[in-house]
Amino acid sequence: MKIKILVVLFFVAFLSANSYGQDEKDKINKNLTNLPATAAASIITCTGGQYLVNGKCECRNNFYWNERLKQCRPIRTCPPGQHLDRDKDDCVANCTGGQIIINGKCECRNNFYWNERLKQCRPVRTCPPGQHLDRDKDDCVADCTGGQILVNGQCQCRNNFYWNERLKQCRPIRTCPPGQDFNRELDDCRSASGNVVRPPVPLEKKPLVASGARQMPSNPLEKAVLVSEDVNRPPDPLERNR
């Protein structure tokens, strides 16, 4: 019986509130919050799995209210390296160093790159002419050419190599034979006189021919002529007396 009277009083107060000022409406709302739980339950309807707690709709323990889904959702335990995104109601990767989730993966924003050494996203910079961005160092460095490498911020050749200005490249430092020096400008070994030393050219080996004998030519025509000359040649008087 008391509940029915309270419900009637609520509707009477609600209808009369339209003719009252703001102060009167605040008083009516205050009185409604002081209603017994049974009377409030008959007025407030909770949705999405919520239930009434102290005159308010709340989710049960280990549940949370998902505004997008308009319902209570369970609080899940995610695998290592992930966390529960309550808006998406799903486990997502723990993005660090300024990364964001793109297609389910942690990535840097546009015009940023991931620096593994610093473990963070770094801006892609535009370097001056003759330099480029070294993403590992996160700094502009010189453009090394001709086989050079960057050493202490400068382009240098590797060990046992030297820079040849004429060839515009690193060249190996050669060891020359005794009595010779390596000329870096010419990239060659030179004698003390300054002449280029070349290895000796081997002499052509010729077959030994007996003394007084004639060597037969290799050309068949020449060989035929030589034979005919020997046949038609008159005998040597000295050879008869031998």
Please report the pLDDT score of residue 113 as a whole number.
95
Of 233, 197, 201, 195, nearest to 214 by C-alpha is 233
Cα-based distances in Å from 107 to 103, 133, 155, 184:
9, 20, 33, 50
Write the pLDDT tens digit of every residue in 69-123: 999 999 999 888 888 888 889 888 888 899 988 887 889 999 999 999 999 999 9
Domain boundaries, the chain: 2-74, 82-123, 144-191
Report the relative pairing of strands 169-172 and 180-183 from DSSP bridges: unpaired
CB count within 10 Å of CB 169 equals 15
Q: Hey, what are 100's tokens? A: 């964001």
Buried b or exposed e, range 83-105, using 16+ CB within 10 angstroms: ebeeeeeeebbebeeebeeeeee
Residue pLDDT tens, the chain, 242 long: 444 444 444 544 554 544 445 555 455 455 555 555 555 555 778 999 999 988 899 999 999 999 999 999 999 998 888 888 888 898 888 888 999 888 878 899 999 999 999 999 999 999 998 888 999 889 998 888 888 988 887 889 999 999 999 888 999 998 999 889 988 888 889 886 656 556 566 666 665 555 555 555 566 555 555 555 555 566 665 555 55
